[in-house]
Amino acid sequence: MAFWLARERRAQESTFIQRFDPRFWTVNFPRPAMASVVTTGPDALRVDLELHHAGELVGLIWESADTLDHPLLAYQTDRSYAHTTLRFRWQSEGVIALDQPNGPTLTIEGRDASGAPRTWYVRLWNYAQGTPTDAQITLPFSTLESGYALPGEPIYPEDIDRLFISLVAPDFAAGSNAPLAARFNGSVIMSDIEADGAGAMIEVGDVLVPPHGERMATAYDDSYNQTPARLLRGIIGLGYRYDIVHYVGMSHFMRLAHDADGTLGAAPDGALAAPAAAWHRNLFALARTQGFEVIASLSYELFDSYCPEDWKQRTASGAAALTGWVPPSTLLSPANTAAMEWLANVAGNLVSLLEEVGLPVRFQIGEPWWWVTPEREICLYDAAATSAFGGNPPIISDIAATLDEDAKALLVAAGTVLAASTARLTQAVRAAASSPAEVLLLAFTPTILSDAAPELYRANLPIGWEAPAFDRLQIEDYDWLTAGADALRRTAYAAVDARYRYPVGDQDYLAGFVLDPADAETFWARIDAGLDEAASRGIARRYVWALPQVNRDGYTRLAPPPEQAMESFDNISYPFALGRSASVAPEFSTSIAVTASGHERRNSLWSDARLHFDVGPGIRSESELSELIAFFRARRGPARGFRVTDPFDNSSNGMTGIPTMLDQLLGTGDGARADFQLVKSYGGTEPQVRPITRPQAQTLVVSVGGVATTEWVLREKGLLRLLSAPPVGAEVRAGFRFDVPVRFSEDRLDVAAVNFAAGEAPSVPLIEIREAA
């Protein structure tokens, strides 16, 4: 299916929004603080805070440049606030009041009239009417003054990057790491938000991509700073429908509590932080209003500094399982009862939020596994796991090494523990729901079925996940997908199908992701093709992971045009053999410019020739003529294509020789690629390469590294798919006979009986169809 990486809006639909639209404010804060912003109406928003230290500060932010939305949906960059006025009602609860030192302050970051970077601090109380916790605030940017009291220094309103309203707890002490006496929760409501003046309205993208059949996946860790309304606007505008996989993440959703030693960690009861609960309640409610269901996703991953030490998976040497994120996350041990109870409690809270807004309970267990370190040590040796494995399990120091039977048995036992933990979590979700719940499992095949660790599947693909352990099985394989390792992907599909036996109707596919924007051009093409391939396998529910990367790179999935639904090629052959009397004419398109001096400049516009045939001379009897007319009518003239064998060029070996397995070089192995297009090359030094889209399948012979192989399948339009990726440097060659895809070139077929009786052959022109390989 077609896609587009949109870098900017070019004549696509746009509209106007009022500047300071509540949907487009964000929040920012340092760990371990937590805050969220949600819309409560078309002109109102609410910020919730949860703070733990005296120095923590939350900012409510308006950016002059939209760096978060998809380019087709972003609002215009306008750094001039001259002659613009912002008005709103301010209501606060708990945070330092407007009239107090360190009270809410508008920080303006930009440049002065000379272009030098500047920051101004505007005390909101100076522009407020009402009480310190309930006031009407008016900010006329052209006359704003910075400072604690008025008069102050005038700000320069014509070159502003962002506005930042600071929110702190009553015991705020700048720069202090001292813990607050108790957890602080507060909130701010901004309502009746109104912009007035010259810059009151700004242009915003208003694209509505037609639905294309794909679904969206996103995560709270990537979007906690935005409003759910903003996310849903993007999802709908880009054509995604039906439901959303929403990973609650591993670092921002949980309530934190002080341990006995004073450090902060995840609260054992699995409660959500108040801002996270408010955000998810808002997301679920808006999703339901706009026709989406939400699949709440929870994994075994937790921000390392928030995780109790005894919950962590560990290597045999005692090192904690740490991911490559900075700062790192860790993995919860499936054998640790307290850790698994915490997960179950979190799941129960998510179930309650889904049911509170009237959504069905759909829950994903995301990538549960035993971690393997970069040094290939598997993390099976935390205290709870060691006890579960008998107290003295064998040491697996290298999961990629050849393992003995005791080590394999340990991996099987680890798989049993993992399956038992996911079964308990599944049961907890079903028990928490007041009506039937759908539970899905997400597995990441590039890790659990890696060739580098051939025995790892015993632990991380346990037989206990066999259908019907879960309602649906979801697969993601983005490492292989973006690397072009198609053979490994397909082998994994077959292995998972054989092991778990989920019908294709009960399987989903997640495609993504692009960590580095420098890879966007290459990776999104492969991701888009992966979605198409999943559809061809019968996978009806396909998710793109994830929304922030879609927006960053401008990935735009396009619905197929209506004409693609109509089959325009009949895979049958022209009914008569073309004799030597038939004419064949290869045609190129060349632009030739003659200079004033008589020299020529030539530009070849086509990379491949297009053939023209006249097959009329092959008709030798009235019965054949009748058959030709019937064939022409069945094709509806030039509307439908068909195959014809070129009598002068139909073989990979020369023009008409017997094919051999070494005839044509299709490509060279790179250890990952398994798909190779059939081609025929003409010429030596700079050959003209012709894609072959209609090979005669029964004639195809293939070699890899000079050795014949039958480990392949022939896909549509001449795509050779090897069952395993050729090794690096191995030449993939093939021999074959082939046909040419053609159509009748005219809507009319002129046949005169008298002329035919006199021995004059009719003219039956055909023209080659250029097929996308």
Q: What percent of the chain has pLDDT over 90?
A: 85
In this prediction, residues 518-545 reach a mean pLDDT of 96
Q: Quote the pLDDT of residue 473.
A: 98
Q: What are phi and psi of 647, to 5 degrees?
A: -70, -15
Is residue 62 scored above 70 in pLDDT? yes
**Hey, what are 393's tokens?**
């399990």
In this prediction, residues 289-315 reach a mean pLDDT of 97
In whole angstroms, give the CA distance from residue 144 to residue 126: 10
Q: Quote the pLDDT of residue 568.
A: 85
In this prediction, residues 729-746 reach a mean pLDDT of 96
Low-confidence winner among 324-333, 491-500, 573-582 (lowest mean pLDDT) = 573-582
For residue 771, how many other CB atoms are within 10 A of its CB? 15
Rg (CA), the chain: 33
In whole angstroms, give the CA distance from residue 437 to residue 426: 9
Q: Quote the pLDDT of residue 565.
A: 46
Q: Label the pairing between strands 507-512 and 541-545.
A: parallel
Q: Label the pairing between strands 293-299 and 362-366.
A: parallel
In this prediction, residues 396-406 reach a mean pLDDT of 96
**Hey, what are 21's tokens?**
């639209």
How large is the greatest C-alpha to C-alpha distance in the chain, in angstroms? 110
Burial of 535 (0-12, 13-18, 19+ CB in 10 A): middle
In whole angstroms, give the CA distance from residue 105 to residue 126: 10
Question: What dihedral angle (degrees, nearest 10) is formed by the CA atoms of 666, 670, 672, 677?
Answer: -10
Q: Quote the pLDDT of residue 643.
A: 95
Q: Give 106-128 as a DSSP string.
A: EEEEEE-TTS-EEEEEEEGGGGE
pLDDT digits (tens, 9 = 90+) for 617-675: 877 777 888 898 999 999 999 999 999 999 999 999 999 999 999 999 999 999 889 99
**Residues near 717 by beta carbon (within 8 Å), at least 6 away in sequence:** 693, 694, 771, 772, 773
pLDDT digits (tens, 9 = 90+) for 124-156: 999 999 999 999 999 999 999 999 999 999 999
Helices and strands, number each (H, E), in the chain? 14, 46
Q: Label the pairing between strands 362-366 and 507-512.
A: unpaired
3-state secondary structure of 64: coil
Do 467 and 473 touch, CB atoms closer than 8 A? yes
pLDDT digits (tens, 9 = 90+) for 742-759: 999 999 888 766 555 545
Do 667 and 727 touch, CB atoms closer than 8 A? no
In this prediction, residues 175-191 reach a mean pLDDT of 95
In whole angstroms, give the CA distance from residue 631 to residue 640: 11
Q: What are phi and psi of 572, to 5 degrees?
A: -130, 160
Name the residue type at position 274.
A
pLDDT digits (tens, 9 = 90+) for 210-253: 999 999 999 999 999 999 999 999 999 999 999 999 999 999 99
3-state secondary structure of 760: coil
pLDDT digits (tens, 9 = 90+) for 434-489: 999 999 999 999 999 998 899 999 999 999 999 999 999 999 999 999 999 999 99
**Hey, what are 297's tokens?**
């996703």
Helix axes 337-356, 405-432, angle to 10 degrees: 30
Q: What angle do CA 246, 248, 251 make, to 5 degrees?
A: 145
Do 700 and 736 touch, CB atoms closer than 8 A? yes
What stretches of 147-224 adopt beta strand conformation (E)? 153-154, 160-167, 179-197, 201-205, 215-219
CA atoms within 13 A on the CB side of 194: 9
